[in-house]
Amino acid sequence: MQQNRSQVTERDGLFELEAGSDVLDSPRYNHDMAPTKVRERTWNKWHITALWVGMSICVPTYTLGGVLTAYFGLTVGEALLAILFANIIVLVPLTLNAFPGTKYGIPFPVLLRSSFGILGSNVPCLIRALVACGWFGIQTMFGGLAIHLFLGSVFEGWKSLGGTGEVIGFMIFWALNLWVVIRGAESIKWLETLSAPLLVAVGIGLLVWAMPNVSMTELLAIPAKRPEGASVVSYFAAGLTAMVGFWATLSLNIPDFSRYAKSQKDQILGQIFGLPLTMFLFASLGVIMTAASVKLVGVTVSDPVSLIGHIQSPVWVAVAMALIIIATLSTNTAANIVSPTNDFQNIAPKVINRTKAVLLTGLVGLLLMGHELLKKLGLIVSDVSLETVYSNWLLGYSSLLGPIAGIMVVDYFLIKKQQLDLAGLYRDDVYPAWNWAGFLAFGVPVVLTLLSLGSDAFSWFYSYGWFTGSALGGIIYYGLCVMRAQPSVVKSAV
């Protein structure tokens, strides 16, 4: 017989919901969004380390050093330090926002119901989802190119397809991504655990191939592309902010993964082991490979897919492309599909289940890349490049998400004192439908950041957007909650 009232139990600091009819019949609940059972929290620190290795080793990471030297006026050494420092910094919101996911087993959209309201949570969720769908489309483009080059190395006639072959590769890779995520969290865990050692091996292999063709001393001595005598501080800070923005999105939806962690210790150690060093080493590899590409293939090539495509041996091209396909798949499924899948379900959990949400994510990602696909098919001519979308829109847009990270941390640790009403997050009678404190705290920094674009005096506010946004968002949210004297959710609820 189904119980009427939900019960919450604790086991070694992990909370579990035994859903009653009050939650099961609620329009805010479905099976996929439900808190993870303690027995289902099977990810140890090495699984989480593998998750970060799988997400970090990807084509965009490879190109980061080039982005910082070309667009932010840093030397190679300064660029690599900025990448390392940025990923150490981003560990703070990543780890803190992972805490409620591990403790309560809840995904990102459900956690947002505490700070933005039961219905209001959909606004930041959809903002986050749009960024993820954009990244999903870009990564799928890289994966599709790898499939095209793989098939071209195996079947000689495939090369003649040109852009049409790339589009076919895109659609194959697109379907493969959706299939993995539809199969569930265990499928993602298996993929990340399998791919991590393979990806490390790829990195070592590329390094061995490149090192005889590059002088590290000469590489580090290349002067920065900034005005002579200009202070390095402002350039370094701007580059640092951009690199923090690279994982700003994951610092929000990390509960989507930490809900499967065995303990807080596992999620903390897994992230420390997996993120900063992997990002630093693979970005360093990108710098070395780009510098060596002139001697290796005769031209400067800044992405690994195109570089390996220049190799004359079809066998090595096929092997390398197969590994790049695995690398891009492991990044894309975890970093860019899981979050929007949960975000879209949050709109109407009773109507949109995981399969429908995955397909919706795929459709939005496909539409966002429609312009690039039509170019490859020769149906339109345009000067707008994929690199422009990647370097300008997505990185800039990601930095505007800083206030959400600050609000989430302040809400959970300072306002709610790490105590949430687990059943209440799935009903309409505990938390407000719209928490206007959250929206004001989010809106003010975003508006100021956009206004600062037109002001030389306040341009620093935009340049350091993630830092200024997250700090100001958290401070405003705390002040509004204190003024409103909003009580923490009663501890008896847990």
| Per-residue pLDDT tens over the stretch 261-317 | 999 999 999 999 999 999 998 888 888 887 777 777 777 777 777 777 777 778 877
What are the CB-based long-range contacts (under 8 Å, 24+) for 383-387? Answer: 386/138, 386/141
Give me the sign of the Cα torsion angle 73, 78, 84, 90. Answer: negative
User: Is the pLDDT assigned to residue 238 strictly greater than 90?
Assistant: no
Predicted model pTM? 0.87
Beta-bridge partners for 43: 261
pLDDT confidence tier of residue 96, bands split at 50, 70 and 90:
very high
pLDDT number for residue 131? 85
CA angle, residues 173, 59, 242, in degrees to nearest 5: 125
344 CB-near residues (< 8 Å, 6+ apart): 129, 352, 356, 357, 360, 361
Q: Which helix (H) or strand (E) holds 448?
A: helix 436-451
Higher pLDDT, 40 or 488: 40
Helices (H) and strands (E) in the chain, counts: 26, 2
- The mean of the pLDDT values for the chain is 87
pLDDT confidence tier of residue 214, bands split at 50, 70 and 90:
confident
Gap between the Cα atoms of 1 and 55, Å rounded: 44
pLDDT number for residue 491? 47
What average pLDDT does the segment 107-131 reach? 95
Q: Which helix (H) or strand (E) holds 10?
A: strand 7-11
pLDDT number for residue 385? 65
Gap between the Cα atoms of 29 and 3, Å rounded: 16
At residue 182, φ and ψ (nearest 5 deg) are -60, -30
User: Is the pLDDT assigned to residue 231 strictly greater than 50?
Assistant: yes
Give me the sign of the Cα torsion angle 126, 358, 355, 106. Answer: negative
Complete domains list, the chain, with CATH: 42-396 (1.10.4160.10)
Gap between the Cα atoms of 190 and 60, Å rounded: 23
SS3 231: coil
